[in-house]
Every structure is written in C-alpha cells, then in structure tokens.
Amino acid sequence: MKSEILRRVAIAAYEAEINIAAHSKGGKITADIFPELIHIKLQDNGPGLEDIEQCMQPGFSTANELVREMGFGAGLGLPNIKKNTDVMHIESEYGKTTFLEIIIYFE
C-alpha cells in the first residue's frame, strides 16, 4: 500500500474514532479490506447530529467543555474525513445515533 493511501486511511479512521469517543456512549467500527479499497463503517450510540450540513463546515463543533479541555472539538473532524476519503456517507437521527460510511480506493 502506498504511504499516501495509508496516511489517508489513518487520518479518516482516527477522526471518526475520536468523534465516537468524544461525543457518544460508545459505538461500533468495522473495516472491510478488499484488493482495491478499504470500506469503513462506524455507528455510535450518541446524540446524533441535528444539522449534518452545518457539522460539515470547518470550525463548527458540538463538543462540550470537557472534550475541548482534552484538546479536541476544533470542528475539523468531519471535514478532515471528507478531505481524506473517496466516498463519505453520513446519516444521523438527532437524539439517537450517527452512521458514517467511508471508502478509500487504493489506486
């Protein structure tokens, strides 16, 4: 795997995992690796997103004070995921859960 592809996978997976850890009460991450791509699915047990479009704006954050004190909550997680993936699909039910699906092609 090319180092550029590995970097993109690491950034996208890290940002998504931090969102689960910072904003929810847990969740599930699965990764399927194929010869041509990696397909990562994440679902949390969190508060959901009220406005996905707004959450995609760089600098917008729903992080609470504790999360910010830990150095997170800059509002760059979802934009960084989008920037480093080839496909990003997000669904959310406000007050319940968020589902994120990302695909990164190896070529």
Task: Quickly list DSSP for 77-94.
Answer: HHHHHHHT-SEEEEEEET
Q: Of 100, 103, 102, nearest to 20 (Cα)?
A: 100
- Short-list 84, 96, 94, 107, CA closest to 14: 84
- Could you report how far apart the first and last alpha carbons of the chain are, in Å? 9
pLDDT tens per residue, the chain (107 residues)? 699 999 999 999 999 999 999 999 999 999 999 999 999 999 999 999 999 999 999 999 999 898 899 889 899 999 999 999 999 999 999 999 999 999 999 98
**Domain tally for the chain?**
1
What's the confidence (pLDDT) of residue 71? 87
**CATH number for position 56:** 3.30.565.10
**pTM of the model as a whole:** 0.90
Answer for the pair 50, 42: CB distance below 8 angstroms, yes or no. Answer: no
| Segments forming the whole domain that contains residue 23 | 3-105
